[in-house]
Amino acid sequence: MVEIIDHNSAMRSFERSFVRLIKELLRRENYTTIENEIPMEDKAADIIAVSPDGKRTVFEVKIYRTSNIPLMSATFAVRRLSQYMSQFHSTIGILVTNVSLPRNYTESIDFEGSARKIWDLNKLTSMFQKYPDLSEKFTILVNEIQPFRDTKKNALPTDAPLEQLHDVEIDIPMFALGGQTSNISVEIDNSPKVSIAERLISEINAIPLSNEGAKAFEVKCKEIIEFLFAPNVSALTTQSATDEKLHIFDLIGRITAENEFWETLQNHFRAKYVIFEFKNYAEQITQVQIHSTEKYLYLPAMRPVAIIVSRHGANENAHRASRGALREHGKVILNLSVKDICSMLQMKDGGDIPSDYMTTILDDMLMKIER
């Protein structure tokens, strides 16, 4: 039996490893960490330390499984940093991340008061270069976190002087939105509100099982897919039939690659289109549903990928059939449960990238596929 890796536990493992490396880097940079002041709860600052010049500094460590992060993900991360700075009475905050940020990022977020910095992949690479033993561990970990990253595209120029890779100061407007640059003021709004993600989680879990709720489940899944994966999946069309009218699938969309998960499907599996199937069964789906979905996939039409969303996920035979379709025919069938969908909605609600969840599933499938 092949164990299916849980995305959340995988990410927590990566985060712990990344934080440990950053702590060791800070120690060598003559920072003193303050372990006992960090509350043992989910929403706590990752690191609190005193800088070599005696300044109390709060670190928010944020890792992503894609190198292209959207505006809102960065904004959420900075908002959390601001909250922790207030909570721990610090005037210096540093957001540490494993992605490279463009120079115009420094003209992005409008702050008032305290100093905030970003240590991105470029900055961290330059810092770790001073410590060869840590640098090797850092490089390995970065590649494990982003298994589909184009290392050549994202590599630092070999002749880049270290002094050019300075702290990214955020005092300032983020990427262009709709062709216009927006100055975004990061403000903390503590008023109780029900987010779109929370609403969708509540609504999908309230749908009756089996035939009674089949149509409602399909409609709600389409809404969720649009919310989670736009703009990476566009032109979504429902209830599409093949030319021969023999098979009808629930949803098809066009892939517009903007992060490594979708780029991998497009570049390595020649997928321009992705099919979605929605199964409101009371039990886990079986290999029968996998073989049925496999009939919709057609490599010459650039349609070799399907994502099946079911209430309780797939059983082991279904996972085995999915791996067989990939091994024997180059067709990618990824299985999601409603629990997986809700996890991705929570990720988006917190400013994370739902496609990172899909990266974990695909990476685990490729790593464990049998001969």
Residues 217 and 358 in one domain: yes
Residues 47 and 161 in one domain: yes
Note the pLDDT tens digit of each residue in 187-240.
444 455 678 999 999 999 999 999 999 999 999 999 999 999 998 999 999 865
SS3 track for the chain? CCCCCCHHHHHHHHHHHHHHHHHHHHHHCCCEECHHHCCCCCCCCCEEEECCCCCEEEEEEECCCCCCCCHHHHHHHHHHHHHHHHHCCCCEEEEEECCCCCHHHHHCEECCCCEEEEECHHHHHHHHCCCHHHHHHHHHHHHHHCCCCCHHHHCCCCCCCHHHCCCEECCCECCEECCEECCEECCCCCCCCCCHHHHHHHHHHCCCCHHHHHHHHHHHHHHHHHHHHCCCEEEEEEEEECCCCCCEEEEEEEECCCCHHHHHHHHHCCCCEEEEEEECCCCCECHHHHHHHHCCCEHHHCECEEEEEECCCECHHHHHHHHHHHHHHCCEEEEEEHHHHHHHHHHHHCCCCHHHHHHHHHHHHHHHCCC
The answer to the question of residue 190 being in a domain is no
Residues 201 and 343 in one domain: yes
pLDDT at 24 over 60: yes
Report the mean per-residue pLDDT for the chain.
82
The answer to the question of residue 286 being in a domain is yes
pLDDT recorded at residue 182: 36
Residues 358 and 230 in one domain: yes
The answer to the question of residue 33 being in a domain is yes
Note the pLDDT tens digit of each residue in 50-78.
999 999 999 999 999 988 887 678 778 88
pLDDT at 370 over 80: no
Residues 126 and 257 in one domain: no
Q: What is the span of the domain harbouring residue 305?
A: 196-368
The answer to the question of residue 191 being in a domain is no
Residues 35 and 154 in one domain: yes
Task: State which of 185, 208, 242 marks the end of a domain.
Answer: 185
Q: Band of the pLDDT at 11, cuts 50, 70, 90?
A: confident
Residues 173 and 253 in one domain: no
Task: State which of 157, 185, 213 marks the end of a domain.
Answer: 185
Residues 240 and 283 in one domain: yes
Residues 159 and 273 in one domain: no
Residues 269 and 304 in one domain: yes
pTM value? 0.76
Q: Band of the pLDDT at 114, cuts 50, 70, 90?
A: low
Residues 49 and 119 in one domain: yes
Q: What number is the average pLDDT over the span 253-269?
A: 91
Q: Band of the pLDDT at 258, cuts 50, 70, 90?
A: confident
Q: Tell me the percentage of the chain whose pLDDT exceeds 90.
A: 60
pLDDT recorded at residue 155: 45
Residues 225 and 141 in one domain: no
pLDDT recorded at residue 175: 30
Q: In the chain, how many domains are there?
A: 2
